[in-house]
Amino acid sequence: MEVNQNPENTEQNEMLPGNETDNNEVIGDVEEGTSSANSESQISEEDKLKAEATEWQNKYLRLYAEFDNFKRRTSKERLELLQIAGKDVISDLLTVLDDFERAQKSIETATDVIAVKEGVTLVQHKLKGILNQKGLKEMESIGKEFDADLHEGITSIPAPSADLKGKVIDELEKGYLLNDKVIRFAKVIIGA
């Protein structure tokens, strides 16, 4: 048999009916190889994405559970703090309560009223001192300009002098500040 080295003849040989199936088989095998490689890479890519999605979902669930636990813990701590917030103030005031009880016992048997008054005055000063240490301050209102942020005007009366118009003339109930924040407004009478 003669070997034809002309490329055109090779193409003609490939078109012959007997040679056609051999070439299709080779082409099919090559396509199957690439498609199986593509499907394997596609499957592995899908598996990677699924694994990553599962990992993110697990992280989300753990984070959500941690946050839920944090909310419960902080609300519990806040409740406990509110329940015992005044513990140190009350424990300091117990000494004043003891002093009042002693003063009450001494009033029953006292013959000297001046000594009892002095004792009660000392207890009052002790109470004010403890409250001042905790940040409580009395407002000074008499003679000052009326300020709606600090004072509660009960009534107004004619001012005794022109310089007292719009100013606080009398104080019915003292106002108090706790750490420079009003906790009770002073009830005052204003000069008109």
* pLDDT tens, position by position, 23-74: 444 444 444 555 555 666 777 888 889 999 999 999 999 999 999 999 999 9
Assigned token pair, 14: 């490939």
Q: Let me know whether 66 and 103 are in one domain.
A: no
pLDDT (tens digit per residue) in 158-173: 888 888 888 888 888 8
Residue 43 lies in a domain: yes
Could you report the per-residue pLDDT of 121-153, keeping only the tens digit for each? 899 999 999 888 888 899 888 888 888 888 888
Share of the chain above pLDDT 70, in %: 79
The answer to whether residue 67 is domain-embedded is: yes
Mean pLDDT of the region 82-94: 81
Rounded Cα distance, 62 and 56, in Å: 10
Same domain, 156 and 116: no
Whole-number pLDDT of residue 55 = 94
Q: How many domains does the chain fold into?
A: 3
138: left (phi over 0), alpha (psi -120 to 50) or beta: beta
Tell me which amino acid residue 112 is. Answer: D
Cα separation, 150 vs 141, in Å, equals 9
Residue 54 belongs to some domain of the structure = yes
Domain final residue pick, 63, 84, 105:
84
pLDDT value of position 57: 95
Mean pLDDT of the chain: 80
Question: Could you tell me if 60 and 29 lie in one domain?
Answer: yes
Let me know if residue 75 belongs to a domain: yes
Domain housing 156: 137-192
